[in-house]
């Protein structure tokens, strides 16, 4: 077995066990071998670096082998953030009265144990809220236990707004929301969030529409999804379309544009149900990237889009290039050096609405600017070290390209 290794245990974003070596590198489970030993790969394996480092553990979780051939800088801050979140979550879960826990003293205790490299309290407050939220008592502990009928599925006028349920999906849409979906479907905006999702589900998925006459965005449905599979998204769009058609005497509903994140399962499902719609992807996290490398990142994204034949996204990239990289001064839309002045976008009204609906749940925008600021400052620090080490420019470009993924988890 490997000796002189400092081993910490944390967990991945999906709640899976994660091993940390020497407080510098994180490893997620990859596969189990025939002899029942388990292989964990460096978390940079699926990123641009394609790091080949791995560890092999026996059934007692002892390290049998450690391949330390990392090809990327150490990330002590990110590792410390994972350890801190895990320790606080563990403290909350072990408490019989989680809401009686004094979080700041618990943080202070753990930070002293961790030493100098420790995340600031503000950078983990939202994570603490989510962990506390998951301790809320609930009559429903599994997706299959969601009832098909309930008094809570009815409006004050007695109208049922739960329109569909199967083993992977439940959709809520009132008659008024169906009317909005039907009458204002030129542009449909969709997005999923983990923040208000029940612990037995994967995400809450929301559709919104824009009413030009009122110059406002309106939410047209809520859905709880057990996964993010293409078939689940397809069923969601199919049922929303069918419900709108039913409420409109079977007149066909066809969206002109569907705005979504860069997730192929969503876009493919949408094109199946709305074959004539144009898919418009969002890359709204680019404004936080160091402007010196945005054009290089644009080139990387374009190459990947050409390789994967993302035709609609390539059209958007051309628009983005002409409008934001050529016609506009990048300083107008880039927050890299001015993150404290981030303003809420059109989803602000939805955030307030959700806060009223779920007062015990954290807001979409809670501490968002602070989380972004912490992430960008960390990336700046790593960039400075790479420059001091006279690393190749491509290493810095890859650093900021990977940052897009981290930003997407926040935004």
pLDDT for the residue 54 = 93
Secondary structure element (H or E) that encloses residue 191, with its range: strand 187-193
Using the CB atoms, write b or e for 22-42: b if 16+ within 10 Å.
ebbbbbbeeeeeeeeebbbbb
- Determine the Cα angle at 277 with ends 161 and 309, to 5°: 125
Q: Is the pLDDT of residue 302 over 80?
A: yes
pLDDT at 199: 79
Strand-pairing partners, residue 187, are: 257
Q: 332 by DSSP, 3-state: which?
A: helix
Spatial contact of 206 and 194, defined as CB atoms under 8 Å apart: no
Q: Which of 113-117, 139-143, 193-197 has the highest mean pLDDT?
A: 139-143
Given this model, what pLDDT does residue 365 score? 43
Q: What pLDDT score was predicted for residue 262?
A: 60
Task: Check residues 92 and 394 and name the one with the higher pLDDT.
Answer: 394
Provide the pairing of β-strand 162-165 with 63-67: unpaired
- Residue 11 pLDDT level (bands cut at 50, 70, 90): confident
pLDDT of residue 38: 93
Per-residue CA distances from 118 to 28, 177, 399 (Å):
22, 46, 22
Would the pLDDT of 276 be above 80?
yes
Scan for tokens 């004539």, then name that residue: 276
User: Is the predicted pLDDT of residue 231 greater than 90, yes or no?
Assistant: yes
Confidence at residue 53, expressed as pLDDT on a 0 to 100 scale = 93
Q: Return the higher-pLDDT residue of 390 and 119.
A: 390
pLDDT greater than 90 at residue 40: yes
C-alpha dihedral over 48, 50, 56, 60, to 10 degrees? 10
Summarize pLDDT for 57-73 with one digit per residue, the tens.
988 888 889 998 898 88
Out of 58-67, 75-84, 119-128, 158-167, least confident range: 119-128
Q: Which is higher by pLDDT, 331 or 170? A: 170
Token code pair at residue 278: 């144009």
Q: Determine the Cα–Cα distance for residues 262 and 399; give it in Å rounded to an integer.
A: 20
pLDDT for the residue 133: 60
Least confident of 77-81, 175-179, 325-329: 325-329
Q: What mean pLDDT is predicted for residues 179-199?
A: 83
Q: Which residue has the tokens 């992977």?
A: 168
Q: What average pLDDT does range 256-281 have in this prediction? A: 81
Whether residue 173 is predicted with pLDDT greater than 80 in this model: the reply is yes
State residue 110 phi and psi, 5-degree precision: -65, -40
Residue with tokens 């407080």: 23
Contact call for residues 192 and 204 (beta carbons, < 8 A): yes
**pLDDT value at 217 more than 60:** yes
What's the whole-number mean pLDDT along residues 132-142? 64
């Amino acid at each position: 077995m490997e000796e002189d290794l400092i081993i910490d245990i944390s967990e991945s974003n999906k709640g899976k066990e994660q091993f940390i070596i020497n407080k510098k590198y994180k490893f997620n489970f990859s596969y189990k071998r025939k002899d029942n030993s388990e292989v964990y790969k460096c978390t940079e394996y699926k990123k641009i670096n394609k790091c080949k480092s791995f560890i092999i553990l026996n059934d007692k979780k002892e390290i049998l082998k450690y391949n330390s051939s990392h090809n990327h800088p150490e990330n002590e801050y990110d590792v410390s953030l994972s350890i801190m979140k895990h320790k606080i979550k563990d403290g909350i879960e072990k408490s019989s009265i989680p809401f009686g826990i004094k979080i700041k003293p618990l943080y202070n205790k753990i930070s002293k144990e961790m030493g100098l490299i420790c995340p600031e309290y503000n950078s983990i407050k939202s994570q603490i809220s989510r962990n506390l939220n998951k301790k809320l008592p609930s009559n429903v502990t599994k997706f299959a236990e969601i009832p098909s009928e309930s008094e809570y599925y009815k409006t004050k006028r007695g109208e049922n707004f739960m329109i569909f349920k199967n083993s992977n999906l439940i959709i809520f849409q009132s008659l008024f929301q169906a009317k909005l979906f039907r009458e204002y479907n030129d542009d449909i905006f969709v997005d999923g969030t983990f923040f208000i999702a029940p612990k037995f589900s994967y995400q809450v998925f929301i559709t919104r529409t824009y009413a030009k006459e009122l110059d406002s965005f309106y939410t047209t449905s809520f859905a709880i999804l057990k996964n993010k599979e293409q078939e689940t998204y397809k069923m969601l769009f199919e049922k929303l379309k069918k419900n709108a058609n039913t409420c409109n005497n079977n007149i066909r509903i066809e969206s002109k544009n569907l705005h979504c994140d860069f997730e192929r399962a969503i876009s493919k499902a949408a094109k199946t149900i709305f074959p004539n719609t144009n898919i418009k992807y969002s890359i709204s996290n680019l404004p936080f990237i160091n402007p010196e490398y945005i054009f290089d990142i644009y080139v990387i994204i374009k190459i990947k889009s050409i390789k994967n034949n993302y035709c609609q996204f390539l059209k958007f990239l051309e628009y983005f290039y002409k409008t934001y990289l050529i016609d506009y001064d990048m300083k107008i839309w880039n927050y890299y050096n001015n993150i404290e002045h981030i303003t809420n976008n059109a989803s602000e009204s939805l955030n307030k609405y959700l806060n009223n609906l779920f007062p015990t749940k954290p807001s979409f925008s809670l501490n968002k600017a602070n989380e972004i600021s912490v992430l960008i400052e960390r990336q700046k620090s790593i960039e400075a070290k790479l420059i001091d080490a006279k690393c190749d420019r491509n290493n810095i470009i890859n650093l900021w390209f990977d940052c897009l993924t981290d930003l997407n988890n926040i935004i």
